Amino acid sequence: MPALPLPAETPLAWYLVLSAVLFALGVAGFLFRRNIITVFISIELMLNAVNLSFVSFSYKLKQSDGHIFSFFVMVVAAAEAAVGLAIILTVFKNRQTLEIDEVSSLKN
């Protein structure tokens, strides 16, 4: 049984696993943390996990689509950060709290 040559580069799967782990961490953070800022950072984590997948596929498949996607995601993330932080600031001003379960007036 001939020895396999060492891979010339890191396998795609490693990137994807890392991306999945980061995404799962983001989901967990979103679900289990109560501080709004932390939740917000979890969202950014998920977005960047997805970006990682895009970029890895793009690299692997030698196509630029994934890069373009990830740029779009970054732009959206930046906009979202601006709007989201503004919302968080307003919530804090009005309620003097960053506890996410206190902000539940959308119910019913």
Residue among 71 and 86 whose Cβ is closer to other proteins: 86
Choose which of 12, 25, 27, 37 interacts with other proteins (CB under 8 A). Answer: 27
Cβ contact 34:99 at 8 Å: yes
User: Which ranges of 1-108 would DSSP assign to H, the alpha helix?
Assistant: 12-32, 36-61, 65-95
Q: Which of 39, 45, 50, 52 binds other proteins (CB under 8 A)?
A: 39
Q: Among residues 15, 30, 59, 69, which is the contact residue for other proteins, using CB under 8 A?
A: 30
Q: Kindly state whether residue 41 participates in binding other proteins, applying the rule CB under 8 A.
A: no
Exposed, middle or buried, 106 (CB in 10 Å: 0-12/13-18/19+)? exposed
Tell whether residue 103 is a contact of other proteins (CB under 8 A): yes
Exactly one of 2, 9, 96, 107 binds other proteins (CB under 8 A); which one? 107
Collapsing DSSP to helix, strand or coil, 13 comes out as helix
